[in-house]
Amino acid sequence: MQWTVKGPALIALGASVALALTACAGGGAPSASTSASGASSAAPVAMTFWHNSTTGDGKKYWEDTVAAFQKEHPNVTITIQAIQNEDMDGKLQTALASSDGPTIFMARGGGKLADVVAADQVMDITDKISPETKAAYGDAIFSGFTVDGKIYGMPTSVLPGGIYYSKDLFKEAGITGTPTTFDELNAAVTKLKAKNIAPIALGGKDAWPAAHWYYFFALRDCAKATLDKAAADKDFSDPCWLKAGEDLKAFSTTDPFNKGYLTTSAQQGAGSSAGMLANHKAAMELMGAWDPGVIASLTPSGKPLQDLGWFPFPAVSGGAGDPTAMMGGSDGFACLKSAPAECVDFLNFMATKASQEGYAKAFQTLPASKDAKGVVTDPALQDVLASYDKAAYVALWLDTMYGQNVGNALNGGVVNMLAGKGQPADIVAGVKSAAAKG
């Protein structure tokens, strides 16, 4: 399994969804009577499509994209089901296990995708990706969706993580510049609390946002070779895994998070962690590159947060990881193994330049296609790109990389520790136990 996800020059925000769909309909996609494989497909075809965009521009984008594809392929009917992000993995796992999985479904890459491949539930699309898509995407972006040399998913975005922050709240607290070390982050937390500003919003109710703090401490504390070894043989014996938990516990004792963070959701409503940043109720949030779009949907105006900034996860004292390393992932989609050829046609359709530009604007994020480059206008995303280009390596989210069993153990162990129900050693013990079970 390849796990480092870093490609040349990331991608930018582009044309509107309407323009994207008009351009998609104009050319490049397979015709209604011909699939990507060249086989005739005049007979009626019905497919189901699961995605995680339940509201706003993202939901509309997928509705419009499906409508545009169906216009090009009048024999195809796609039934959409939008599922809340936090529910997606569990529902998808259950559906696939019951042989009632959707035709087109989200693929997050890494160990999670490898589990689906091992269960023989997903289609190998290596030879079905169109030449145009391959040229636009390049090889590197597919690495996170590659298992044993074969490609099983089509990326739609590149999502490195880091800390988003309110420039206005930093200014109010007298913080100049962004923290590059944990000493500096601790100093910023102190200044924010002195102004009665919640320093960091955390959606601990959903588990994975809390676990992200452990992931990034591990990124800083563990050498790349250690992360590679754990990916290859699920070996978590290196002391850095314990140090990551100890560093997080020490940081949590400074009370940096919003009150009630263990019962705060991540992305649902103004009271979520993203909503707190969107409404200036907290100054920072650790999150992936989808965050600007989520935050924009939760501002009072429903528009992007004008003072939103971003900085990389700070350096950790005594860490063996490269201080420029980043962590993230790439959302994408896959086809059920038994899916018709039109499923891959749809994946190639969503990968066209115009569709990717529309995706970037609808989700206010970074698309996967190099051809969708354009100009990155969001200042926070510009900062993400600058750090991404300088990163020594980019690791996948740990719960994605190491598979759902290990990921669940990580997420649960971190939340238990933050809730005072466990210790750093318990996180490591739980992960080792989950890894031993496969």
Residue 64 structure tokens: 């419009």
With H, G, I as helix, E, B as strand and everything else as coil, classify residue 340: coil
User: What are the tokens at 206?
Assistant: 């959903």
In this prediction, residue 39 carries a pLDDT of 47
E strand or H helix at 183? helix 182-194
Q: What is the pLDDT of residue 31?
A: 38
d(CA 364, CA 14): 10
Q: Which of 293, 300, 268 is nearest to 164 (CA)?
A: 293
Which residue from 45, 44, 24 is spatially nearest to 348, judged by alpha carbons? 24
Q: What type of residue sits at position 412?
A: G
Give the pLDDT of the chain (438 residues) as one tens digit per residue: 233 334 333 333 333 333 333 333 333 333 333 454 444 357 999 999 999 998 888 999 999 999 999 999 999 999 999 999 889 988 999 999 998 899 999 998 888 888 899 999 999 999 999 999 999 998 888 988 999 999 999 999 989 999 999 999 999 999 999 999 999 999 999 999 999 999 999 999 999 999 999 999 999 999 999 999 998 888 999 999 999 999 999 999 999 999 999 999 999 999 999 999 999 999 999 999 999 989 999 999 999 999 999 999 999 999 999 999 999 988 899 999 999 999 999 999 999 999 999 998 888 888 889 888 675 678 999 899 889 888 999 898 998 889 888 999 999 999 999 999 999 999 999 999 999 986
Tokens 């190491």 sit on residue? 402
pLDDT for 329: 85
Cα–Cα distance measured from residue 24 to residue 352, given in angstroms and rounded to the nearest whole number: 7
User: CA-CA distances (angstroms) from residue 321 to 310, 325, 402, 429?
Assistant: 21, 7, 18, 22
With beta carbons less than 8 A apart as the criterion, state whether 13 and 381 touch. Answer: yes
CA dihedral 246→251→254→258, nearest 10 degrees, is: -120
* Tokens encoding 23: 């351009």
| One-letter identity of residue 357 | E
DSSP-derived 3-state class of residue 166:
strand
Strand partners, 45: 76
With 0-12 / 13-18 / 19 or more C-beta atoms within 10 angstroms meaning exposed / middle / buried, residue 44 is exposed
Give the model's pLDDT for residue 419.
97
Residue 213's alpha-carbon distances to 332, 365, 406, in angstroms, are 24, 21, 16
What is the number of other CB atoms lying within 10 angstroms of the CB of residue 74?
Answer: 11
Residue 365: the pLDDT is 86
Cα distance between residue 85 and residue 378, in whole Å: 24
Picking from 229, 226, 266, the residue whose alpha carbon sits closest to that of residue 415 is: 266
Beta bridge partners of 151: 146
Contacts of 244 (CB under 8 A, 6+ apart): 214, 217, 218, 220, 221, 222, 424
Euclidean distance between CA atoms 219 and 225, whole angstroms: 11
Quick count: other Cβ atoms within 10 Å of Cβ 187?
Answer: 13
Q: At what angle do helices 208-221 and 403-418 cross, to 10 degrees?
A: 100
Strand 308-311 versus strand 198-200 pairing type: unpaired
- For residue 416, the tally of other CB atoms under 10 A from its CB is 17
User: What SS3 state is found at 426?
Assistant: helix
d(Cα 311, Cα 213) in Å, to the nearest integer? 15
Residue type, position 245, single letter = G
The terminus-to-terminus CA distance of the chain in angstroms comes to: 15
pTM of the predicted protein model: 0.79
